[in-house]
Amino acid sequence: EIPVQDFTTCDATQQMITKGRLDGVDTAFDRAANMKACPIGADSACCKHCFMGPCRLNAKDPYGKVGVCGATIDTIMARNFARMVASGAAAHTDHGMSMLDLFREVVNGKIKDYSIKDTQKLEAVAQSIGIETEGRSAKEIAVELYEALESTYTAVEGEIPFAKRVPPKTLETWRKHGVVPRGAMREIMEIMHRTHMGVDQDYTNITKQCSRTALADGWGGSMVATEISDILFGTPSPVSIEVNMGVLKEDQVNIIIHGHEPNLFESMIESVNEPTFIEAAKAAGAKGINLAGMCCSGAEVLVRHGIPHAGNFMSTEAVLITGAVDIMAVDVQCIKQGLVKVAECYGTPLITTNPRCRIEGATHIEFNDHEPKKSTDEIVIKAISRFKNRKAKVQIPQNVNIGVHGFSHEYINYMLGGSFRGSYRPLNDNIINGRIRGVAGVVGCTNPRVKQDHVHIELVKELIKNDVLVLQTGCSQIALAKAGLTTPEAAHLAGPGLREVCETVGMPPVLGLGSCVDNSRILIAASEMVRIGGLGDSIADLPVAGCAPEYMSEKAISIGHYFVASGVYTVFGVTFPIVQGTRFHKHLFEELETMGFGKWGFAIEPQEIARLMINHIDKKRQALGLDK
C-alpha cells in the first residue's frame, strides 16, 4: 500500500484518504496507482480515427512505421493534439455560451432573477470592441454588446470581436499566418473535419488550425465567459477567504457546489440565505447552513463573494469521506464519475443540475436560468433532510487557511495606479528597473499522477524567490492558498525586489485571479503591459512565461495552446502527449517561436520548470535591453 504522503501534500486530503481506506472507499489516487498509464497513448503514438485501424506506432522508432492509410507519426500526433484542443476549446466556449444565453434573456427581460450588476464593466467591455456608450442606456449598450459577442461563436467569416483587444503586432503575426479566429463553432467544426481520416496530413497545417481554434477559446469563449460573468455577477476585487476542508462545519448543514458555471452558485447563495430555510435548518438541529465551493465553481464565487473553498480537483472525493457533506451539487466539467460511489458510501446526495451532464447513480435536479431558485431551493431542502438523518460518522480535518484573492485585471490596474490614474505603468516600471524580473502565470489542475499540490507550491516558491510575480487561476491557486502563499505576509518569501514592491502596495506575491476561464484575465493583463510600453510591442516580447504543472484536462491543452499562439512560453508538467525527437515536437517546442508565436515547454520537477521559465524571462529581458 502506497503511503498517503506520496499521494498529496494536502494534509486534509491525506487524512481523508486514510479514513477512506479504513471505510473501504477508494479514490482516484488509488485507481491511478493501480492503473499504469498506457505508454502508447501517453506518447500519442496511436490513431483510432478510422476502422482500417486502430493503428499503433512505435515511439522508440517513430519513423519506422506508418498507419494503414500511410499516416506518419507527425500526422497522428498532430491530429490527436488538435482534437484535444477542440474538446478543451468546446468546453470553455460552451460555458461562455451559457453565460451569453443568460445575458440575452436578462437583457430582453425574460429572466428576472439575475440582472446587470456591473454597468461600469458593461461599458468598458462595449467600448473595447468599438461600441458607442456615450449617452446611451445600459439596456441599449447591452443589446448591441450581446449581438456583437454572439459572433464569437457564430461568425462564419472575419475576425472575432475581441481580436480588437489584441496588441497590433501580435494580431499582425496572427494575420500573417492565417490564424485569426472566426466563430468558435466554425473553428471547432473545421478541426473535426480536418482531423478526419484522409484530410489534413501536414502537421504544420494542422497546428495552424490548433492555433486558430485555441485562440477562439482564449480570446473568444473563455473571455466572453469572464466578461459576461463580471457584468452579471460583479467584477472581483480582493477579498480575504478561507480554504481547505476545515471550512466544513460539523454542526451546520454543509452544501458543496462543484463544477464551473457561476449561475448555479449565484442562485444557491440566494437560496441558503432564505430565512425560511435557515429556520428549517435550525429546526433540524443545525446551527445554520454552510455553503462552500470546490474547483472552478468555487473559484468564481471565492473572488466575487468571499465564499469559502473546500479544495481543488483532487480533493473532491476526499471531501465526501468527511461524512459532513450534506449535499454536493455539480454542473459541468471535472466531475469524476467516482464521486457517485463515494457519495453513496456516506449517504451524501450527489446532484447533477445541467442537462449536459448527468451521471449514472446521481440524482438529477435540473437547473434552469428562467427559474433558478426552483432547483437550488430543492437542493437546500434535500441537504437539510440529509443533515437531520446523518448516519455517517463525521470527521472533519481541522485545516483552514486564509488567502486574499480576486485580483481582476481592473483591480490590478487600480491597485498599482491608484483611483485617479489606474494604470499598469508601475508594473512595467518595476519590470524595467528590475525589481520585478518578470511575470509568470501558474495555473491548472491537480493530477494523481504527481503528488497533489506539491509541484504548484514548490514551483511558485522558486519563482517568487527569484522576483517573478505570479498570477494564478483555477485549482492551482487553491494549492497556493492552502500553503499560505496568497497573503500579503507571504512577501517575506519573495526575492528582495518583488518583496519591496509587494510591501509598498500591500499585495501578495501570488495573485489569485479566478477560475480557469479567467485565464483570459491574464491575456488582458499581458496586452495592457504591451500597450503601456517599454516592454516591446507584442506579447511575445514580454518577459513572461506560463505553466500548468499538474494539468490533467483537455481544457488545459487548449489553454496552453492559446497562450503559445498569443506569444507566451508555456511549460506543462506531468506528461506531454508527444514523442520527443519528432518533427511535430520540434514544431511545437521550437519552430513556433521563430514564427513570432510563443512555444511549448515540458518538465516534471518544480525546480526544473522554474529554471526553464526564469531562463526564458531572462532571455526576453536581454532582448529588450533591460539587463546588461
Chain residues in the site for ligand NFS (CB under 6 A) = 295-296, 312-313, 334, 444-445, 474-475, 516, 553, 555-556
56 vs 465, beta carbon nearer ligand SF4: 56
50 vs 394, beta carbon nearer ligand SF4: 50
∠ CA 443-444-445, rounded to 5°: 145
For residue 615, CA distances in Å to 5, 400, 536, 601, 620 come to: 32, 36, 18, 12, 9
33 vs 66, beta carbon nearer ligand SF4: 66
Contact 566, 218 (CB under 8 A): yes
Helix axes 222-233, 119-128, angle to 10 degrees: 150
One symbol per residue from 361 to 380: x for binding ligand SF4 (CB under 6 A), - otherwise; what is it? --------------------
| Amino acid identity for residue 510 in this structure | V
| Smallest separation, CB 519 to ligand NFS (Å) | 9
Q: Return d(Cα 431, Cα 468) in angstroms, integer.
A: 9
Strand segments, DSSP code E, in 225-274 are: 239-243, 253-258
Q: Return d(Cα 282, Cα 252) in angstroms, integer.
A: 9
Please report the sign of the dihedral spanned by the C-alpha atoms of residue 282, residue 286, residue 287, residue 292: negative
| Smallest separation, CB 158 to ligand SF4 (Å) | 33
302 vs 556, beta carbon nearer ligand NFS: 556
Contact 348, 387 (CB under 8 A): no
Helix or strand holding residue 441 (H, E) = strand 438-442
289 vs 299, beta carbon nearer ligand NFS: 299
Binding residue (CB under 6 A) for ligand SF4 from 17, 71, 268, 379: 71
| Smallest separation, CB 471 to ligand NFS (Å) | 14
| Smallest separation, CB 445 to ligand NFS (Å) | 3
153 vs 551, beta carbon nearer ligand NFS: 551
Interface stretch with ligand SF4, choices 45-53, 96-104, 120-128, 292-300 (CB under 6 A): 45-53
If one asks whether residue 534 binds ligand SF4 (CB under 6 A), the answer comes out as no
174 vs 576, beta carbon nearer ligand NFS: 576
If one asks whether residue 48 binds ligand SF4 (CB under 6 A), the answer comes out as yes
55 binds, among ligand SF4, ligand NFS, none (CB under 5 to 8 A by kind): ligand SF4
Please report the sign of the dihedral spanned by the C-alpha atoms of residue 325, residue 330, residue 334, residue 335: positive
47 binds, among ligand NFS, ligand SF4, none (CB under 5 to 8 A by kind): ligand SF4
Q: Return the DSSP state at 259.
A: S
Radius of gyration (Cα) for the chain, nearest Å? 24
| Smallest separation, CB 330 to ligand NFS (Å) | 11
For residue 362, CA distances in Å to 292, 297, 322, 386 come to: 20, 19, 19, 15
| Smallest separation, CB 82 to ligand NFS (Å) | 19
Residue in this structure with the C-alpha cell 492559446, named with its chain if needed: 562
67 binds, among ligand SF4, ligand NFS, none (CB under 5 to 8 A by kind): ligand SF4
| Smallest separation, CB 206 to ligand SF4 (Å) | 13
| Smallest separation, CB 135 to ligand NFS (Å) | 39
180 vs 247, beta carbon nearer ligand NFS: 247
Q: Which residues lie below 8 Å from residue 161, measured CB to CB, with a gap of 6+?
A: 129, 148, 149, 151, 152
Look at residues 471, 477, 468, 487 and name the one whose alpha carbon lies nearest to residue 612.
468
553 binds, among ligand SF4, ligand NFS, none (CB under 5 to 8 A by kind): ligand NFS
Size of the site for ligand SF4 (CB under 6 A): 14
The half-sphere exposure of 391 on its side-chain side, counting CA atoms within 13 A, is: 7
| Amino acid identity for residue 625 in this structure | G
Interface stretch with ligand SF4, choices 48-56, 102-110, 292-300, 583-591 (CB under 6 A): 48-56
If one asks whether residue 69 binds ligand SF4 (CB under 6 A), the answer comes out as yes
Q: Return the DSSP state at 354.
A: B
Helix or strand holding residue 569 (H, E) = strand 569-572
C-alpha cell at 399: 485545516
58 vs 87, beta carbon nearer ligand NFS: 87
Interface stretch with ligand SF4, choices 47-55, 133-141, 257-265, 514-522 (CB under 6 A): 47-55
70 vs 109, beta carbon nearer ligand SF4: 70
Binding residue (CB under 6 A) for ligand SF4 from 32, 33, 42, 50: 50
If one asks whether residue 49 binds ligand SF4 (CB under 6 A), the answer comes out as yes
Alpha helices (H) in 402-518, listed in sequence order: 409-417, 425-432, 454-465, 474-482, 496-505
Using CB atoms within 10 Å of the CB of residue 529, give its burial: 0 to 12 exposed, 13 to 18 middle, 19+ buried: buried
Contact 47, 79 (CB under 8 A): yes
The half-sphere exposure of 503 on its side-chain side, counting CA atoms within 13 A, is: 11
| Smallest separation, CB 216 to ligand NFS (Å) | 17
330 vs 436, beta carbon nearer ligand NFS: 330
538 vs 566, beta carbon nearer ligand NFS: 566
44 vs 152, beta carbon nearer ligand SF4: 44
| Smallest separation, CB 209 to ligand SF4 (Å) | 17
Binding residue (CB under 6 A) for ligand SF4 from 10, 12, 44, 67: 67
Q: Return d(Cα 206, Cα 194) in angstroms, integer.
A: 8
If one asks whether residue 55 binds ligand SF4 (CB under 6 A), the answer comes out as yes
Residues that bind ligand SF4 (CB under 6 A): 47-50, 52-55, 67-69, 71, 76, 197
